[in-house]
Chain A
Amino acid sequence: MAGSSKKVYEVFVSKIPWTLASKEMKDYFGQFGQVKKCLVPFDKETGFHRGFCWIGYTSEEGLNNALQKDPHVLEGSTLQVQRNRKVFLGQKTNKEVVETS
């Protein structure tokens, strides 16, 4: 019930090549609507990101625009974009994950 009333317009992006980071993701996904949040978790051990990220739009329109486009090809790589099912919570246990915006 609480879940349905919550308005989160998030997409989950995977298969991100290592060469792209939050700035590139934000720039690319900005074309579909205003991006409120862009979370690319990096592995502090290796210095590489984990190949996925979350993009949060300010409106449902942005979300839908992003979802409608297929395929998403960025610098030669096809990104996988899907509606985000689980809301990402900044938990204390995820210390090794550093979120960058």
Chain B
Amino acid sequence: MAALLRSARLLKFSPSGFLQRTGTNRNGPQLSRLYSGAIGGKGVRHYAMVTEQRGPHTDESSLGVRSKQAQQFDWALAKLDSSVRRTGRITKTLLLRIFHDICRTGYPSGNQALLLLRSCGSLLPEMPLAERTELAHRIWDKLQELGASYDASHYNALLKVYLQNEFKFSPTEFLAKMEAAGVQPNRVTFQRLIAAYCHDGDIEGASTILGFMKSKDLPITEAVFNSLVTGHARAGDMESSESILQVMKGAGIEPGPDTYVALLNAYAERGDMDKIKQTLEAVENTDTSLMDRDLMQVVFSLSKAGHQQHVPEIVERMRHERGYVPDAMNLCLSLITQGQEDTAFTVLKTFPTLQQETQSGDSPTLGNFFLRHCVNMDKPVDKVARYCKELQDSSYHATPLQFTLYCCLEAKKTVEVMKMMKEQGQPIRPHYFWPLLTQHAKDQNTTGIMEVLKGMQELDVPADVETMSFYVLPAFPNIDAARDAFKVRARLSPTATRLTHITVRFTQRIPSALLSLSLTHTQPLSWDHVLCVCARITSLLSSFSTEAVSYFLYNLMDSMTEAEVQAQEDKLRQYFNQLKSMGIIIPGNIYRGIRNLLDSYHVPELIKDVIALVDSQEPLNFSDNRVVVLALESRLAELKADSKPVGATLKQLILTLCAEEVQALELKKQHEADMVAGSYAALIHLCCRHDNVEEALNLKRELSRKDSSVSLDSSKYVALVKVLTKQGRLEEAVDMLKEMKEKEVVVRDTTVTLLFHVLNAAAMKGDVVAVRRLQDTIFTLGLATPTANLCSPLVSAHLETKDLGGALEAAMECQKQYGQLPRIHDVICGLVERGDTELLQKAMDFVSQERGEMTMLYDLFFAFMQTGRHREARKIIETPGLRARPGRLQWYAEKCINGNQMESLESMVDMTAKLFECDRDELYHYVLRLCKDTNDWRKAEATWTKMQEENVIPRERTLRILADILKSNGQEVPFEVPEVKKPSEITYCSATTSKHSSPFISIPSNQSFSQISVCFIKAYDMLKDIERKGVTLGPAPYDSLIRALLAEGSMENAMVVKEIAVGRIPGFKLNDIANSLLIITQVKRGLAKDGMSTLKSMLQGDQVPSKLSVTRLVQSLGSHGDVQGIQEVEVLMKGLGTPLNLSSMVFLNNTAMAHIKNGDLDSAVEGLEAVYTQGDGPQGPAASMAFVFRKVLEENNGAALDKLSAMAERLANHFSSYRAASDLFLQLLEANMVEDAKFMLARCNAVAEQKEILVSYMSRLAQKPGVDNDLVSAKALYQQMQTEGVEADELCLKRLAVLYRNAGETVPFTEPPVSARTHTLCSACHLNGIAVCLS
């Protein structure tokens, strides 16, 4: 019953979960629900507003904008909705975020505006009333500015917000404003205006409106009477107020709960408890009943009017209905916000959740929200302290002060609470100050930092290493500044100053600062010097803690660039050796961090030196075996030479060798005496893997002879069990399991998986006896808990031997013993297939008894489905009272999808049509997924028709998958696809497809795009038509049409639309996107000058052009030979507030192109050469001039090419700057001029060493579709590598192996065990191999 209620609640409360909704009415019922849940203001019940007068905005905007708005609306609504559903309120942050998002994306739709406005009232209990109204006004103005058009619903929403926020306004002015905007007020408007008058006790004003309503024949509803109750009371006339109820009855309207609440509030404002009690009793005799929520309003009124002494009496009357807590929380928040925190505290103490929480073992934390809001509202500290004390004393909250402090810190507020805590004898710890420091550190606010430090000092909390190094020093621009600051604060404890000294060096930036010193020419600080400093730092640190040294090392490595590390490899090695001689030891995780760094710097050789620093006890985890074997061998030799214990190293080596399947046993013989337990374990595992039981057992015996106290770990034991079982030595296997138990071997999840494999292997042989024996042993020993998975092999063993009776028995036994029913589906399927009704009945009875009837029915249903007995299946699923179990339906659907069983899936979907609570869209989605897998568009289309027949409203994803299937088969999509490409994407797409400077942007083959284009042309015609009829649209449709036309390349049409828009809407301007598009279009037409002026006018209008548009413009200027124009653009871009991140090479390359165009080759070369000879300028060696080479090659400009290649070679040979040469080489390859490329390579050998450039080129090449699966080429390459003696590394081999396997061929070499995810990118041989191929 409870479940039923819950699901009924679900039906009622979650709109998104249920799909029977249409796009057009989505803001009707949902919104009203959104607004029915709030508390804390007045007249809560009025939230549900009339939504029929929505503006014509939905027809206004064009397709793209509208769909985007719709999406965004859905998203925003979902966000706000879930917040309201959970808590009955919205936070300011959330609302502001949604507001900004809506603003940012341009023209807001009418319903977005409505959504935002409606949220500015009592849904924001944490915000002061005035601020709420202010926000509403801000939203109103901003959205209007952005082109939102307001209708009566918006004005009504604003009125509601005014009422909820008790905002004083003039109703007549409001009406005048509406009139001026040409919006007709409606019944709701008048009702709210009456409410506004009544709020102020202005009965005369209210009567005027009332008279007006009567003259217009508008119905007078309960809401109006309720307002009048309040109105008379506020005017001081309680008698009239009370008499309204009689008037209502006379007019045939029964007073509702809101009427009584109005009356109760009126009494509450006077503090008349007798009348309140009388009224409450009177209500009990009527049909209406008041909810807790209603009483909360009375509490609020009492408190606001200064009668809080009566609050407890009302609070006692609350019934703690469902939803009490969120409502009461909102009441408390509103009270606190409005200065009634004491009342709020009274309410807080009535919260009923205490017992539950204390029972669950967690310490109670009642009132967190209360304390947080008190902090946010800046309530006096002593007051909060009092609340804390009371909460703690009555065990409502275990640590209220700590929590309050947490909130203070979160809000970056002062340390006053800490002082109080200290007075109470609570510890104050350094890390309490970190949240305060982070903010200052982020802002580089050193004064703030020093303030906090002073506070720490006052509280007698010394700043420790972490505080100084992570939170204090990073805020200072450099060491000196920090030192100065601390000198000024000499009062700071001497420890702190000493710490500064150390930590100054300890922070990340310092090593890099030292290094950059050594690397720049200004101050020839030798590396040896740096080394010296580093060594000093380390020794200083090592006296402090070993971990500090490790972090220092890591940071040192991290702060160096790849080039630095490579250049200083020898020096660093010296340094590491020096550290070793100092006895520095680093922990494994730091080692791994450093290793990863060095790996990424491509200096694997250095890793060995770092390994030497690792604690020899520490197990290492290596990724690259070759390096490791070398390192280990050398370490082994070293240790042997020093006659030190080699056990750990030997074990490591054996482990490594085992992984490589090298004869590790050999090694054992060599070092018999040095063998340690781990080595034996590794060898035993190796033997097990090779089915060499005897040797494994021998080793095990030898091990226990050596040291009986050691035990193997679980994986070794399981390996032994497996191999013993495999060879039929069952009893020995069982003994092994027992020994595992005796020795208390730790069993992990992976062990359980291994055990399953042992059992399953036996089951696959049909060895029931072995499975049973092992399974029993495992479970009785408690080595693993019985899971469905672990139990299944027993059933499998029977199924394997076709013994269905045995299988059923086994399954039943498992259920009885372990509560698991393994593989019951397979058993039942088998029984159905065989037609063994007797056993089937038995099975069904059993399942029904153990798992319930519903499960049994589903089991039977799926068994019938599986065996193709659809008629029987239908009967089962149509059993009255059966309801949908989404999980089980999904299980079967997935099974069908994986097994490509369309028929079975379709009939399941068909049969479940009438199933209660069945999510039809979900089921059809399964069918479509399978259609997509099989690329069956006909079936997909038929499914679509069926859905219509069944009146299923599809979710967006269903429509999308359907559209995908149809599109990929070249079929027309017969409906509007929910997610249309955004205009900006279209721009991009058209701009890129039209690279080859056709005058009109070519329409890509992509069908959807051409469809959209057609739409836009139609829209253009329609607009001209509308224009003739003299209709004015909002700015949004004009804007989107202009953008669409520009994206199309129809510049003239776009300009016509613009003219229309300017004529219709004063101040109409193209926005950033449209202007950028205009530039691109102009450039395409060869109108570079026009593009330039568009750019200038954009910048004047504070608009930001797109990167693409600027690049295109510069390219165009370049090809026109307009050097000056390029310079002008460059200057303009530098003046831009927000930089576009344009590469300076765009300007340089195109300037060169302009010179070339003008025939001034020398200037071109000069300009480019300067880039590369000036060393690593801001662009660094990354600056590519490939563009110039490509253009020159494309234009077949031999003279320019000669000059430029001469320059490239000169740069390479004289200046060691290889970028230009590499670019040329690659462009030659691109242009298919392989011979020229070879010559180039012959002349500039170093090009082949430009690893990064080549690798990035190759990886780009490899990403092109088709290349990555080219087994034939891969084979050829591998063969060539072999003949040329290039050794392929593991990654190569692994990739090759994958290619072989994907092609269904056997792999002709041993596949390395590395995972393909290994990060060792293109190692040297990889590269060489391809380079060999190239040349």
Q: Which of B429, B600, B651, B749 contacts A21 (CB 8 A)?
A: B429
Partner of A5, one of B398, B432, B551, B655: B655
Interface contacts (Cβ under 8 Å), in number, total: 101
A2 and B621 within 8 A (CB): yes
A24 within 8 A of B: yes
Residues B434 and A5 in contact, CB atoms below 8 Å apart: no
Mark B600-612 against chain A: 1 for CB-CB distance below 8 A, else 0: 1000000000000
B455 within 8 A of A: no
Q: Which chain B positions have C-beta within 8 A of A49? A: 431
Which of the residues A48, A75, A78, A98 comes within 8 Å of B435, measured between beta carbons? A48
- Interface bits A15-35 vs B (CB < 8 Å: 1, else 0): 001110101100000000000
Please state if B399 and A77 are interface contacts (CB–CB under 8 Å): yes
Contact across chains for B655 and A2 when beta carbons are under 8 A apart: yes
Q: Are B589 and A89 in contact, with the CB atoms below 8 A? A: yes
**Given the contacts A19-B402, A89-B592, A90-B554, A47 and B715 also touching, CB distance less than 8 Å:** no
Contact of B438 among A17, A45, A78 (CB under 8 A): A45
CA distance A100 to B545 in the complex (A): 12
Q: Kindly name the residue among A47, A71, A85, A99 whose own CB sees the greatest number of chain B CB atoms within 10 A.
A: A47
Contacts of A42 in B (CB 8 A): 431, 434, 470
**Docked-complex contact A76 and B399, CB < 8 angstroms:** yes
Query: Who on chain B is nearest to A24 by CB?
Result: B429
B707-740, CB < 8 A from A: 713-716
Most buried by B among A2, A21, A78, A99: A2
Interface flag for A6 (CB, 8 Å):
yes
B41 to chain A, nearest CB (A): 33
Q: Are B435 and A76 in contact (CB under 8 A)?
A: no
Instruction: Tell me if A78 and B621 are in contact (CB < 8 A).
Output: no
Could you tell me if A1 and B715 are in contact, using CB atoms closer than 8 angstroms?
yes
Q: Is B678 positioned at the interface, with any CB of A under 8 Å from its CB?
A: yes
**Is B592 a contact partner of A47 (Cβ separation < 8 A)?**
no
Q: Quick check: is B593 within 8 A (CB to CB) of the other chain?
A: yes
Interface residues on A, range: 35 or more
Output the least CB separation between A64 and chain B (Å): 10
Q: Which residues of A contact B658 (CB under 8 A)?
A: 1
On chain B, the residues within 8 Å of A44 by CB distance are: 438, 470
User: Would you call B436 an interface residue if the criterion is a C-beta within 8 Å of the partner chain's C-beta atoms?
Assistant: yes
Cα of A3 to Cα of B700 in the assembled complex, Å: 20
Scoring B residues 1089 to 1109 as 1 if CB is less than 8 Å from chain A, else 0, what string do you get? 000000000000000000000
The reply to whether B399 and A17 contact each other, CB–CB distance below 8 Å, is yes
Which residues of chain B from 952 to 984 have any CB-CB distance to chain A below 8 Å in the complex? none
**Would you call A5 and B558 a contact (CB within 8 A)?**
no
Q: Is the interface of A mostly helix, strand, loop or mixed?
A: loop
Encoded as 1 (CB less than 8 Å from any B CB) or 0, chain A from 28 to 65 comes to: 00000000010000101111110000000000000000
A76 to B470 alpha-carbon distance, docked (Å): 29
State how many angstroms separate the Cβ of A97 from the closest Cβ of chain B: 11
Complex Cα spacing A69 to B1255, Å: 55
B597 at the interface (CB under 8 A from A): yes
The verdict on B1189 contacting chain A, using a C-beta distance below 8 Å, is no
Nearest CB to that of A95 among chain B residues? Answer: B558
Tell me the complex Cα distance, A49–B470, Å. Answer: 13
Q: Is A91 within 8 A of B596, CB to CB?
A: yes
What mask results when residues 527 to 549 of chain B are scored 1 for a CB within 8 Å of chain A, else 0?
Answer: 00000000000000000010110
Q: Is the CB of A92 within 8 A of B600?
A: yes
- Does B865 touch A at the CB level, under 8 Å? no
Q: With an 8 A cutoff between CB atoms, is B1153 at the interface?
A: no
Which DSSP category, helix, strand, loop or mixed, fits chain B's interface?
Answer: helix
B409→A77 contact, CB < 8 A? no
Instruction: Knowing A23-B429, A101-B547 are in contact, say whether A37-B587 is a contact too (CB < 8 A).
Output: yes
A90's partner among B466, B470, B592 (CB-CB below 8 A) is B592
Residue of B nearest to A40 (CB): B431
Cα–Cα distance between A17 and B406 once the two chains are bound (Å):
10
Distance between B418 CB and nearest chain A CB, rounded to angstroms: 11
A47 engages B590 (CB within 8 Å): no
Flag if B466 contacts A4 (CB, 8 Å).
no
- Report how far A46 CA is from B92 CA in the complex, Å: 20
The docked-state distance in angstroms from the alpha carbon of A45 to that of B470 is 11
- Which of A4, A7, A47 is within 8 Å of B716, CB to CB? A4
Indicate if B197 sits at the interface (CB-CB under 8 A). no
Which residues of chain A are within 8 angstroms of B548 by Cβ–Cβ distance?
Answer: 101
CB pair A100–B554 under 8 Å, yes or no, is: no
With a CB–CB cut-off of 8 A, which chain B residues contact A99? 551
| Cβ of B410 to closest chain A Cβ, rounded Å | 8
Query: Within the complex, which residue of A1, A89, A91, A100 is in contact with B466, where a contact is CB–CB below 8 Å?
Result: A100
User: What CA separation (Å) do A3 and B655 show in the bound complex?
Assistant: 11
The 8 Å CB contact of A4, one of B437, B597, B714, is: B714
CA distance A99 to B592 in the complex (A): 15
Once the chains bind, are A92 and B362 in contact (CB under 8 Å)?
A: no
| A78 and B681 contact, Cβ closer than 8 Å, known pairs A24-B429, A47-B436, A92-B597 | no
Q: Is B363 an interface residue (CB 8 A)?
A: yes
A15 CB to nearest B CB, Å: 8
Instruction: Report the separation of the CA atoms of residues A11 and B437 in the bound assembly, to the nearest whole angstrom.
Output: 30
A50 to chain B, nearest CB (A): 13
B471 in the interface (beta carbon within 8 A): yes
Q: Does B373 contact A (CB under 8 A)?
A: no
Let me know if A71 and B361 touch, CB within 8 A: yes
Quick check: B409 and A47 within 8 Å, CB to CB?
yes
Given A1-B715, A76-B398, A92-B600, answer yes or no on A101-B545 (Cβ-Cβ < 8 Å): yes
CB pair B593–A92 under 8 Å, yes or no, is: yes
Is B868 engaged at the interface, CB distance under 8 Å to the other chain? no
- Contact with B593, one of A8, A37, A48, A90 (Cβ below 8 angstroms): A90
Within 8 A of A (CB), among B1019-1035: none
Cα–Cα distance between A4 and B600 once the two chains are bound (Å)? 28
Say yes or no: is B682 at the interface (Cβ < 8 Å to chain A).
yes
In the bound complex, what is the Cα–Cα distance between A45 and B681 (angstroms)? 46
Q: What residues of B have a CB within 8 angstroms of the CB of A24 in the complex?
A: 429
B113 to A: closest C-beta gap in Å? 34
Query: Does B399 contact A47, Cβ atoms closer than 8 Å?
Result: no
Determine whether the beta carbon of A4 is less than 8 Å from that of B471: no
Q: B470–A5 contact, CB under 8 A? A: no
Check B685 for interface membership: any CB of A closer than 8 A: yes
Produce 1/0 per residue, B362-380, CB < 8 A to A: 1100000000000000000
Residues from chain A with a CB closer than 8 A to the CB of B182 are none
**Provided the pairs A1-B715, A5-B682 are in contact, do residues A17 and B655 lie with their beta carbons within 8 angstroms?**
no
B1175 / chain A contacts, CB cutoff of 8 Å: none
Task: Indicate whether B619 reaches chain A with its CB closer than 8 angstroms.
Answer: yes
Question: Please, how many angstroms separate the alpha-carbon atoms of A80 and B857 in the complex?
Answer: 42
Q: Which B residue's beta carbon lies closest to that of A8?
A: B619
Q: Which residues of chain B are near A46, meaning CB under 8 Å? A: 410, 435, 438
* Contact partners of B437 in chain A: CB under 8 A: 47
- The reply to whether B655 and A4 form a contact with Cβ atoms under 8 Å apart is no
Distance (whole angstroms) from the CB of A4 to the closest CB of chain B: 4
A78→B398 contact, CB < 8 A: no
Known: A71-B361, A76-B399. A91 touches B593 (CB 8 A): yes
Knowing A7-B619, A18-B406, say if A48 contacts B434 (CB, 8 Å).
yes
Residues of chain A within 8 A (CB-CB) of B399 are: 17, 19, 75-77
Query: Contacts A44-B438, A101-B545: A5 and B597 contacting too (C-beta < 8 A)?
Result: no
Given contacts A2-B621, A5-B651, 15 further A-B contacts (CB under 8 A): A1-B659, A2-B659, A3-B750, A5-B682, A6-B619, A7-B619, A23-B429, A24-B429, A42-B431, A42-B434, A47-B409, A47-B436, A47-B438, A48-B434, A78-B362
For the complex of A and B, 10 pairs with smallest distance between CB atoms: A47-B435, A47-B434, A47-B438, A90-B593, A4-B713, A101-B547, A21-B431, A6-B619, A90-B589, A76-B398
Q: Which residues of B contact A (CB under 8 A)?
A: 361-363, 398-399, 402, 406, 409-410, 427, 429-432, 434-439, 466, 470-471, 545, 547-548, 551, 554, 558, 587, 589-590, 592-593, 596-597, 600, 619, 621, 651, 655, 658-659, 678, 681-682, 685, 713-716, 749-750
A-B contact pairs, 6 of them (CB 8 A): A2-B619, A5-B655, A19-B399, A49-B431, A88-B589, A100-B470
Which residues of A are interface residues toward B (Cβ below 8 A)? 1-8, 17-19, 21, 23-24, 37, 42, 44-49, 71, 75-78, 85, 88-92, 98-101
